[in-house]
Chain A
Amino acid sequence: MAVVKEREEVLEVVGQRLPRVDGWAKVMGRAQYVDDLSLPGMLFGKLARSTQAHARIREVRVQRALELPGVVAVITGKDLPIRYGVFPVGQDETALAVDKVRYVGEPVAAVAAVDPYTAEEAARLIEVDYEPLPARMSLEEALAHPEPRIHDYGPFGNVHRQASLEFGDVERGFAEADYVREDLFYYEGSTHAPMEPHSALAWWDPGAKKLTLWTSHQGPHYLHKGLAKALQLEEHQVRVIVPAVGGGFGGKLDIFHHEVCAAKLSMLTGRPVKITLTREEVFYAHRGRHPELLRIRTGVTQDGRITAMHVEAYLDGGAYCSFGPATLLYAGTQQPVSYRIPHYRFQGVRVFTNKPPCGPKRGHGTPQVRCALEVHLDKLAEDLGLDPVELRLRNLTGPNEITVNWLEITSNGLRECIEKVVEASGWSRRRGRLPYGRGIGFAASAYLTGAGGSIYFSDMPHSEVHLRVDRTGVVTVYTLATEIGQGSATAIATIVAEVLGLKPQDISLVTSDTDLTPIDLGSYSSRVTLMVGNAAYDAACRVRDLLLEAVAERLQIPRHRLICRNRRIYDEENPEVGASFAQAASWAEAKFGCLATSGSYRPPEKLGTYKGSGVGPSPTYTFSACVAEVRCDPETGEVKVERVWVAHDIGRALNPILAEGQVEGSVHMAVGEALLEEQAFRKHLHRGPSLLDYKIPTVHEMPEVITLFVNTEDPRAPFSAKEVGQGPLLCVVPAILNAIADALKIRVDEVPVTPEKILKALEERRKGRPARVGPTKVPSFSFPAPERVARPPQWELEAKPA
């Protein structure tokens, strides 16, 4: 619950370009990441991984490994047989494969040894006797061959989950259309590739019967629960601590094998055990972007108003559930948030394949369909003879409306975002008028600011904060919120500092320690600024009230005249009368005793009641628009993204430096997904599990970025601060693709757009065929009949003839 501010104050730190609070430690090399930690007597762990994509395990022989001098313990699937998973409906993983392996790289055994070399050598000495099974390496293969099943659950064959929803009456909507267009698009999988490889250090205290795990993670709360289950411990016997994290992007959110194995090995040996993944292993840990095939059909009136839309999504989930049920549903949720779609059908299927599991990556489940949609709308505009921007403008959602799929939009600055990028990029005078080989493209997008539902059902808060102030004036905030580089520590410190009249660096933060800090669900779905921010705001206002009351009494000043600013609490009418913050704190401590307050946040109830309505709701949404400018070489097929304009409705930037950093980082990741990155496989093997072969953009590929923030008032967000970490990625990928189409008059309906694909499309044109490269069919698959969901009441009113 956002606290309503008592009066309109001048903001002192919110909105200022201040250095991030963890910046000094990081520039000095003093920030401590998990692999920087060591404990006395520490052992080094290593996982032995499957060489088979799909096979039954006949036997795992560990004797030779055990006999190697320096090896202290070896474990196999028999030692960790309990299935776990981050989703209650997805308890399908074990820390080590029990009787079957489902992808190359899946862990089958783990060793602990006195040094890393010995551990590595021992892992190599583990012998596994496999009975190979046919491996399914694509969603088409997995659907075409229902047997043998990769898992023994799911509706049938290799189908993991399916969704089929209809809001309104899509057939009626298409009947009302003057024109209908259908397009197919393929979005290749990609991985997070954080610069820090995953690492976990476990220590089991046999006396206290307590496990402490230091881990590079972005969701310690869910991990805490998963570890307890996998290890068969009570939750209070597990303590998860997250030190500095070297990047996450969604890739450090699951319950990982090395975490469970390090813990088990420590329990068996009585010594601390550290497991740090190699770069190659990070590609197997994965949980990245789902490869996804999309079919979108849209009906429009002559003047370009959408009458109906039907989205079909085919997701290649890899070998396990991970966050898959949410990924699948997210694919359907965000289209109606950006555009008014009177009749909307979403059908999706997630299939199992014999590849590392896919999961949440920046934009979770939404970038694939957003890219397909924005490319599709560009083509639709061309068919109608409309400027692509104009087509979007005719269909925009506005503030304070409920979408056809029952999502509640509060603030909405999408129109202004579009106006800003169009203006700044010179869109109207440049689009379609640049020399051959150069082009600009446009796209818009929407994203949530925090998932409205938690992963497991609960009526408890999603974020909680404790705050203490002592007589020396020290302010300490305790929260499980996890700093992964996105700036959560700075955001929280900024909010508390603003309320108390301090500076962000005055605030001490104790974060990410499940024994010390109250619950936060994690750094995912762009939720921390809003949810932890609101909880911190609550806690700070409560302690401020105590401070004000104490100062009012001591100085005999009416409370309403007191103001917290510049590290003082003073009489607004008589500023020299007041107290330093520390003085005020000691007066308050004398009056009230120990000063400690708390704050909690729970998102608003969702509006939809249909099955699947738990995914998509958010306290508020952000909106982005992008124009990308590219230069393409028709001889080599090379594309250079030269400039990107991104306008983002952020509500208000708590710190513009950090907010710009999120936009620039999103552009980096979007350029990679649009042009370079593929988590792809050759036969059963990852095509290049290294940073040489898997190409993330270097500084040379990074375009100039012009970031334009749009401010909106949002009562649900602390100081109106909405998300900025994920939304700005979404529109950039399709804007680049639309720019390539503008530059070369070809369509590559598939990412990444490699030079080979561009040359192929150009070749098609030379042969007089449609200048397009991309999917031409969807697998044969019958979706279940859609669940018909009544539309929110105002849609029915609007639908009545005038």
Chain B
Amino acid sequence: MDQPVRLRVNGHEYRLLVPVHRTLLEVLREDLGLVGTKHGCELGECGVCTVLVDGRPMLSCLLLAVDAEGHEVTTIEGLSPVGELHPLQRAFAEIGALQCGYCTPAMILTAKALLEEVPAPTEEQIRDALSGVFCRCTGYLKIIEAVQAASRQLSAGAAASELR
């Protein structure tokens, strides 16, 4: 059974007719061409399909597209304005917090949600937040380091804008 659905993804509205069982992951990748969102199991085990729904990390493989209606979905493609990089993206690239890159969109989005909630997280808080996303390459340590670096940069930016 198909159902009409209006999705807000990265600030744009999409009107689609989707089978009710179609996951948000499938719609993002196959209908909207937003292939920056990856899949590693499609069973909610690995976390690499994580996107932000109303700013909170969610597994897009376990979320039906029809249930995402009325919510704001952010994927890696919508994380930063065109031509700019989010401090997390910059930190991940500069610190070497990625190798194959397959879990990277999920890690960055998950970390973004954390930093919105806890601007200066402890290492333990970072580990807790990232524990639902698997990485097989890096051993996670440089990812933790990159989140810390981005956190410092965001706080410095916030402090600077307060001064202005």
- Cβ of A609 under 8 Å from chain B: no
With A195-B103, A660-B96 as known contacts, state yes or no: A28 contacts B76, CB within 8 Å: yes
- Tell me if A279 and B42 are in contact (CB < 8 A): yes
A246 to B137: give the CA distance in the assembly, Å: 9
- Tell me if B140 and A246 are in contact (CB < 8 A): no
With A665-B99, A691-B46 as known contacts, state yes or no: A28 contacts B36, CB within 8 Å: yes
The chain A residue with its CB closest to the CB of B102 is A246
The chain A residue with its CB closest to the CB of B41 is A279
- Tell me if A665 and B130 are in contact (CB < 8 A): no
- The stretch among A71-79, A482-490, A584-592 that forms the contact with chain B is A482-490
Interface string of A531-543 (1 = CB under 8 A from B): 0000000000000
Q: Which residues of A contact B40 (CB under 8 A)?
A: 195-197, 279, 691
Min CB distance B153 to A, Å, is: 14
Interface string of B93-129 (1 = CB under 8 A from A): 1111011111111001000000000000000000100
- Tell me if B96 and A661 are in contact (CB < 8 A): yes
A699 to B40: give the CA distance in the assembly, Å: 17
- The stretch among A29-37, A567-575, A759-767 that forms the contact with chain B is A29-37
Q: Which residues of B contact A700 (CB under 8 A)?
A: 127, 131
A486 to B100: give the CA distance in the assembly, Å: 7
- Tell me if B105 and A29 are in contact (CB < 8 A): yes
With A33-B38, A661-B96 as known contacts, state yes or no: A28 contacts B89, CB within 8 Å: yes
A669 to B140: give the CA distance in the assembly, Å: 12
- Cβ of B159 under 8 Å from chain A: no
A197 to B142: give the CA distance in the assembly, Å: 23
- Tell me if B89 and A195 are in contact (CB < 8 A): no
The chain B residue with its CB closest to the CB of A644 is B139
Q: Which residues of A contact B105 (CB under 8 A)?
A: 29
Q: Which residues of A contact B141 (CB under 8 A)?
A: 664, 702, 704-705
A279 to B39: give the CA distance in the assembly, Å: 9
Q: Which residues of B contact A669 (CB under 8 A)?
A: 136
- Cβ of A783 under 8 Å from chain B: no
With A29-B76, A657-B96 as known contacts, state yes or no: A664 contacts B142, CB within 8 Å: yes
Min CB distance A426 to B, Å, is: 21
With A195-B40, A246-B38, A246-B101 as known contacts, state yes or no: A657 contacts B95, CB within 8 Å: yes
Q: Which residues of B contact A610 (CB under 8 A)?
A: none
The chain B residue with its CB closest to the CB of A276 is B39
CB neighbors of B among A210-260 (8 A): 244-249
Min CB distance B92 to A, Å, is: 5
Interface string of A691-731 (1 = CB under 8 A from B): 11000101110101100000000000000000000000000
Q: Which residues of A contact B36 (CB under 8 A)?
A: 28-30
Q: Which residues of B contact A249 (CB under 8 A)?
A: 136
Q: Which residues of B contact A661 (CB under 8 A)?
A: 96, 99, 137-139, 142
Min CB distance B76 to A, Å, is: 3
- The stretch among A4-12, A15-23, A558-566, A621-629 that forms the contact with chain B is A15-23
With A29-B37, A691-B41, A699-B144 as known contacts, state yes or no: A245 contacts B100, CB within 8 Å: yes
Q: Which residues of A contact B37 (CB under 8 A)?
A: 29
- Tell me if B139 and A22 are in contact (CB < 8 A): no
With A668-B139, A690-B45 as known contacts, state yes or no: A27 contacts B108, CB within 8 Å: yes
Q: Which residues of B contact A197 (CB under 8 A)?
A: 39-41
The chain B residue with its CB closest to the CB of A486 is B99
- Cβ of A156 under 8 Å from chain B: no
Q: Which residues of B contact A666 (CB under 8 A)?
A: 139
- Cβ of B75 under 8 Å from chain A: yes
A249 to B142: give the CA distance in the assembly, Å: 19
The chain A residue with its CB closest to the CB of B93 is A23
- Tell me if B43 and A23 are in contact (CB < 8 A): no
- Cβ of A774 under 8 Å from chain B: no
A249 to B139: give the CA distance in the assembly, Å: 14
A36 to B88: give the CA distance in the assembly, Å: 23
- Cβ of B135 under 8 Å from chain A: yes
Give the dominant DSSP class at B's interface: loop
With A27-B108, A29-B76 as known contacts, state yes or no: A485 contacts B137, CB within 8 Å: yes
The contact of A244 among B39, B45, B92, B101, by CB within 8 Å, is B101
- Tell me if B101 and A696 are in contact (CB < 8 A): no
- Cβ of A748 under 8 Å from chain B: no
Min CB distance A509 to B, Å, is: 15
The contact of B139 among A36, A690, A702, by CB within 8 Å, is A702
Min CB distance A511 to B, Å, is: 14
A484 to B29: give the CA distance in the assembly, Å: 22
CB neighbors of B among A659-701 (8 A): 660-661, 664-669, 690-692, 696, 698-700
Q: Which residues of B contact A792 (CB under 8 A)?
A: none
- Tell me if B42 and A195 are in contact (CB < 8 A): no
- Tell me if B99 and A487 are in contact (CB < 8 A): yes
A276 to B29: give the CA distance in the assembly, Å: 14
- Cβ of B24 under 8 Å from chain A: no
Min CB distance A397 to B, Å, is: 29
A20 to B94: give the CA distance in the assembly, Å: 8
With A195-B48, A691-B41, A692-B45 as known contacts, state yes or no: A247 contacts B134, CB within 8 Å: no
The chain A residue with its CB closest to the CB of B92 is A27
- Cβ of B35 under 8 Å from chain A: yes
Interface centre among A29, A657, A658 (most CB of B within 10 A): A29
Min CB distance B110 to A, Å, is: 11
Q: Which residues of B contact A31 (CB under 8 A)?
A: 101
- Cβ of B85 under 8 Å from chain A: yes
If A279-B40, A485-B99 are given as contacts, then 7 extra A-B residue pairs at C-beta distance below 8 Å, sorted by A number, are A26-B101, A26-B104, A33-B102, A247-B99, A661-B139, A691-B43, A698-B134
Please list 16 pairs of residues, one from A and one from B, whose beta carbons are closer than 8 Å in the complex, sorted by A's number.
Answer: A20-B96, A27-B88, A29-B36, A29-B76, A36-B29, A36-B35, A195-B137, A244-B100, A247-B136, A279-B41, A657-B95, A657-B142, A665-B136, A668-B140, A691-B40, A691-B134
Chain A residues proximal to chain B, CB less than 8 Å: 19-20, 22-33, 35-36, 192-197, 244-249, 278-279, 484-487, 657-658, 660-661, 664-669, 690-692, 696, 698-700, 702, 704-705
The 6 A-B pairs at the shortest CB distance, nearest first, are namely A29-B36, A485-B100, A26-B101, A246-B102, A29-B76, A664-B139
